Amino acid sequence: MTKKIKMTVLLIFVLFVGFVSGLYFYDYIYGWRIDTITEKYFFEDEDYLQIIKPSSCKSSSQLNEYQGCENLYDLMEGGWEDADKNCENQWVEYYFDNDVFVEFVTIENYGYPGLFAQKDKIKDMEMITSDGTKFPIWLEESTNSQWYDVYHSTKYLRFNVLSSYDTLGIETCHLQEITVYGRNQY
């Protein structure tokens, strides 16, 4: 090879190496920026609509150790059942770690028809927030998920049972789920 060809090959090699490393460097910097932005706006920011799980709950009574109010926010089939009180003077309270902006709640009776038929169903409730605002809730006697708009900030929710469909011969009031949808407010 002549000196000129050798120099040309060397030059092409240097340019190629420079180009490839430049691509990696660009990708590295750009990728890092994208990751940072994504993390900042989509992962570190808690202000997006989500299911808000209470940190704890209380209820007026429960049938047994398996039928507690924790079952109301486990997104599973189990539910809360009162201690055979026929839905009378019953309530459930949800506590959150910090203020949350509640957009809406969904409430469900037992979805399994056999179980649904064996329990008393709630008809009227009132939901109360930290500042004492009351939201009337009327439930249809069905296994459908029922939706109630709220748009209110609170650190706690109380659900007072006011009336029921009172299935005769059945004393056990129940709910499968009360799911809270909203945004965290730190």
Backbone angles phi, psi at 136, to 5 degrees: -70, 140
> 94 to 153, contacts with Ca ion by CB under 5 A?
120
**Site membership for Ca ion, residue 185 (CB under 5 A):** no
Using CB under 5 A, which of the segments 19-27, 46-54, 64-72, 147-155 binds Ca ion? Answer: 64-72
According to CB under 5 A, which one of 107, 121, 158, 177 is a site residue for Ca ion? 177
CB of 98 to Ca ion, least distance (A): 24
Among 50, 61, 86, 184, binds Ca ion (CB under 5 A): 86
In the complex, what is the shortest distance from the CB of residue 185 to Ca ion, in angstroms, rounded to a whole number? 26
Q: Are 100 and 184 in contact (CB under 8 A)?
A: yes
CB of 130 to Ca ion, least distance (A): 24
- Quote the CA–CA distance of 11 and 58 in Å, as a whole number: 76
**Contact by Cβ (8 Å): 89, 60:** yes
81 near Ca ion (CB under 5 A): no
Q: Interacting stretch for Ca ion, rule CB under 5 A, among 36-44, 72-80, 110-118, 135-143?
A: 72-80
Angle at Cα 95 formed by Cα 77 and Cα 59, nearest 5°? Answer: 60
Handedness of CA 130, 135, 136, 141 (dihedral sign): negative
DSSP state of 116: H
Phi, psi of 159 (to 5 degrees): -115, 110
**Is residue 83 involved in binding Ca ion (CB under 5 A)?**
no
Binding residues for Ca ion, rule: CB under 5 A, are: 71, 74, 76, 78, 86, 120, 166, 170, 176-177
